[in-house]
Structure 1
């Protein structure tokens, strides 16, 4: 049970092991998808997924240190990167970059996977947010993998959509609520990470049917993953600038700022952020059709800067409210002691 504390958004102890169902259902789905697994992908996925499952389970029961989590994630990613189908070998001309040295491709792939896993783990802070963002991401992957005829990856994405829809039914419930916990968020982040790597490592010839050029893959994937990546990067940088550990826990995530500043419900905040994710991805795909890749980069930088200033404004607004609530009441608001000038004669 996840017991509420001073930074929690829930008020009663809630089951936090929804990720157990994720693991069971996804492993069963792999047995049905095995017919289309021509590159032994499942044997690359299962060891890493199992490592993260047990690590997340232990973290939900007994809190693990950030170092232990990172080591477990590196081990899980290593199993995937042993398969050449998941290693970035070529940027296909993105910013003038083509073929990569083997060691650099491995390093970049590992950093990207770790970044996605941890960023997705961090956005699992309010009801519905992680699940709805993940559904959007897996819908995108399902469409793309179906288009380029990677049936195993397509069916895996469809399986995750079904798992998350089933989870959201309970996660958004008032009386049957359950959290995915680290057990679930680490697994979902891991599956998103290896699907990202599979798309990045796909042959250029296989991408001809997509509505964007193969050199634009990094930007499209950034637009797809903008919510978890931006939130994690902003929170880590702001904590470091404030002299705190980047792994310290507080209510400085974007979803917390929206809830605290505007008193939004979890559902409204989650669907608002999910809607922004879809809008951001749509804008990037549209501009890629009409303008150059540099126009997209300029747009992304402008939006990220605006979002950063907006978050700073929300933080100041919340801090002013908190400071105002801690100030002593004015003389007019203070209770006049003479009102309570009662004696035993009045029966007190």
Structure 2
């Protein structure tokens, strides 16, 4: 499996994309070891069904890496897998407000929960373009989620997060840096997005604390802000949501001859800030309403917008 350069690529040579197979193998092997040698670990009874969903997502990624499935077809499959996962975990039925919870109709909660998983899977897949970017950032975010799960005693969330952490850690030495040897490909990025987004919902279910809904989005806020502002820009210009493109901030930075390593490190620094903030809020039991989270997303998206605009203005001035 390999990624051949095309009009949207930021690489000039063919890159192997089989790293995701290693992520699948590491996840499966870790869970088998835990089930065999530590059977007393109180894992969720729904875990086997979650793993079936993960296998479907992984298989979709393998097929896409080999045959390049059309975006709309891939999104339909992801959508149905997301629905299945949400029905198993149970949809979010209320949101934390400033002073009290905001109750949601079942259908609204189902749609919102499905969209969270859908956006994470597709968004993290979009961000797997620069050497080490997706793997390093998601290793940090998943490590933070695992620490939070450990603090709160959410065992299944912690185990899923821990296995994903070690899987990404095994990929990083071969993926990070300007001379990357292999990419996670759709196989790895789709699976990473699914495991992370599902684990964030499981954290809420295991702790029975809807106030923790902010944890998942806040941990990956640098990614989410880039994804949302890029998609809004494409819709405004009449572009397709499903078609491949090179409009993300990291792609614009690399186009300005900033190295893959520096770009990945910049996202990592932003990730460290938001991971630290999230863990601090959990430890101090600081209640974050969805309004504050939305404001944070808008602010982060605004920073991304102005950085991208500055890059475009510099590019135009050089052309003149």
89, 92, 100: which one aligns with 2:93: 89
| 1:301 alignment counterpart | 298
Match of 2:149 among 145, 148, 151: 145
Q: Secondary structure at the match of 1:246?
A: coil
Compared with structure 1, are the counterparts of its residues 141 and 164 closer, same or farther at alpha carbon in structure 2 (3 Å cutoff)?
A: same
The aligned runs of 1:133-172 (5 Å cut-off) are: 133-172=137-176
| Separation in structure 2 between the aligned mates of residue 41 and residue 122 of structure 1, nearest angstrom | 29
CA contact (8 A) 1:20 1:184 kept: yes
Q: TM-score, normalised by structure 2?
A: 0.87
Point out the more displaced range, 47-56 or 25-34. Answer: 25-34
Q: CA deviation at 1:129?
A: 0.3
Query: Which residue of structure 2 lines up, in the alignment, with residue 9 of structure 1?
Result: 10
Q: Distance in 1 between matches of 2:281 and 2:66?
A: 46
C-alpha spacing 1:127/1:279, structure 2 compared with 1 (3 Å)? same
CA 1:151–1:283 in structure 2 vs 1: closer, same or farther (change >3 Å)? Answer: closer
Residue 70 of structure 2 is aligned to residue 76 of structure 1: no
Of structures 1 and 2, the larger Rg is shown by 1
- Aligned counterpart, 2:23: 22
Cα deviation 1:263-297 (Å, max 9, x = unaligned): 22111110111111222444566689689856665
What SS is found at the alignment partner of 2:299?
Answer: helix
Aligned mates of 1:148, 1:126 — CA distance in 2: 34
Q: Match of 1:33?
A: 34
| 2:54 is equivalent to residue 49 of structure 1 | yes
From 220, 224, 239, give the equivalent of 1:244. 239
TM-score (norm 1): 0.80
**CA displacement 1:315-337 (0-9 Å, x = unmatched):** 2323443x35xxxxxxxxxxxxx
Number of residue pairs matched? Answer: 312
Q: Say which of 255, 261, 279 aligns to 2:250.
A: 255
Unaligned runs of 5+ in 1: 208-213, 325-348
How many Å apart are 1:157 and its aligned residue? 1.2
Q: Is the 8 A contact 2:132 2:177 kept in 1?
A: no
Secondary structure of the structure 1 residue equivalent to 2:16: coil
Q: What SS does structure 1 have at the residue aligned with 2:15? A: coil
Whole-Å Cα distance in 1 between the matches of residues 245 and 317 of structure 2? Answer: 17
- Contiguous gaps of at least 5 residues in structure 2: none
RMSD: 2.7
